[in-house]
């Protein structure tokens, strides 16, 4: 039995795993203390739970628990990383290198810094959504203080060559920040092997709760230093003041623990389902794949349906399939995806593209149903094309 609508927008957010929810519930009622209250047992018990979660999150990315800073989500983590590095190192230089297909959290943060004196280089991407490594290195200057390149793209699933980027950053003594909100918990992310200086994560992308995120800040070899963006009680080692979201953090820890144990099997299952969806739809006329298919997240495919308006398709199918044309942060916009445009797609093709994000709870029956519904829709459109384009 298929329950409608089928949810294929797991890049936007994921269903909170029931096991995560059960772990969180006591911290709303019975264990309600403030983790910063260190004079009584209600505070001690909660602080212990927070530190346990911090350890689990650190283990997922092979970090030290002391390198984990809790935030309200990946967007805050991105702001803290980029603005924090800029303010800390601006006396050394004001140049930051990023990429044209970054999440809006990165791009808009960089645009803000440009207004106060930062010099930002926005690297272009190839037609498959990847960056040119040589071009990245060629843009490094004596004033470069940070490289900010995402681990994997939220619209296409394309994975960037993180270790190669890190090697260039280390060679030139430049810090390297990567937004790993889409990658961590889906594929192995190892901050030691990947040699990143800062890394952002989000709980709700890995079947945890919304409203909680993490910034990994490297402590040595070399140490990354940031200026706090929120002032107050000096929480999180003076890097992020404010009463922390204890239930959310506990849930984040549990979500990371589950990913540690289930990620590899889950990825294998999702690749098979994703490939089936993709292969069946590619059999239809004028359907193509956007982005590199060799270096891609296991659960994502971005397809273009030539001659179709993706917005109208989403509206027509929304009772059957929940899917999007791009980032949830820009889904209200009518313009074509800036990510696909940066890859060289024309407006018509970009406007005819959909992102499919499968997840832990996606079933083979749901994929079969999605293939059937989309195929039928395209046949209907083809028979009456002028009314739909």
Whole-Å CA distances, 142 to 92, 116, 154: 9, 20, 31
Contacts of 188 (CB under 8 A, 6+ apart): 263
Instruction: Output 373-382 pairs: Cβ under 8 A, ≥24 positions apart.
Output: 373/317, 373/320, 373/321, 374/281, 374/317, 374/321, 375/280, 375/281, 375/284, 377/313, 377/316, 377/317, 378/284, 378/285, 378/305, 378/308, 381/307, 381/308, 381/313, 382/285
Instruction: For residue 208, report the phi and psi dihedrals to the nearest 5 degrees.
Output: -110, -175
Tell me which H or E stretch contains 96.
strand 95-99
Tell me which of 16, 110, 259, 329 is the catalytic residue. 329
Contact 300, 11 (CB under 8 A): yes
* Catalytic site includes residue 329: yes
- Which residues form the catalytic set? 329
């Amino acid at each position: 039995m298929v329950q409608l609508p089928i949810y294929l927008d797991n890049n936007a957010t994921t269903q909170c795993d029931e096991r995560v929810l059960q772990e969180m519930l006591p911290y709303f009622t019975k264990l309600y203390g403030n983790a910063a209250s260190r004079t009584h047992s209600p505070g001690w018990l909660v602080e212990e739970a927070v530190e346990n979660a911090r350890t689990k999150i650190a283990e997922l990315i092979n970090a030290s628990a002391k390198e984990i800073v809790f935030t309200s989500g990946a967007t805050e983590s991105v702001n803290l990383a980029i603005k924090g590095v800029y303010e800390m190192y601006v006396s050394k230089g004001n140049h930051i290198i990023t990429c044209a297909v970054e999440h809006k959290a990165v791009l808009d943060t960089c645009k803000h810094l440009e207004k106060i004196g930062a010099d930002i280089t926005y690297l272009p991407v190839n037609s498959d959504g990847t960056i040119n490594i040589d071009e990245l290195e060629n843009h490094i200057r004596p004033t470069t203080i940070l490289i900010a390149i995402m681990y994997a793209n939220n619209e296409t699933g394309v994975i960037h060559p993180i270790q190669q980027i890190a090697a260039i950053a280390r060679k030139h003594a430049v810090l390297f920040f990567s937004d790993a909100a889409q990658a961590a918990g889906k594929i192995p992310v190892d901050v030691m092997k990947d040699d990143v200086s800062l890394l952002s994560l989000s709980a709700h992308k890995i079947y945890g709760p919304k409203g909680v995120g993490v910034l990994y800040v490297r402590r040595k070899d070399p140490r990354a230093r940031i200026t706090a963006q929120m002032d107050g009680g000096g929480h999180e080692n003076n890097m992020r003041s404010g009463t922390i979201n204890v239930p959310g953090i506990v849930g984040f820890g549990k979500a990371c623990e589950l990913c540690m144990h289930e990620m590899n099997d889950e990825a294998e299952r999702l690749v098979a389902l994703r490939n089936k969806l993709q292969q069946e739809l590619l059999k239809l006329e004028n359907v193509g794949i956007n982005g590199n298919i060799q270096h891609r997240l296991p659960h994502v495919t971005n397809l273009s349906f030539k001659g179709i308006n993706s917005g109208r398709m989403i509206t027509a199918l929304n009772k059957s399939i929940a899917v999007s044309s791009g980032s949830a942060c820009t889904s209200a916009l009518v313009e074509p995806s800036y990510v696909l445009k940066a890859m060289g797609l024309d407006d018509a093709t970009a406007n005819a593209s959909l992102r499919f994000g499968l997840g832990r709870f996606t079933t083979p029956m749901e994929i079969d149903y999605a293939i059937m519904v989309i195929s039928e829709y395209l046949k209907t459109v083809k028979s009456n094309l002028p009314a739909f384009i």
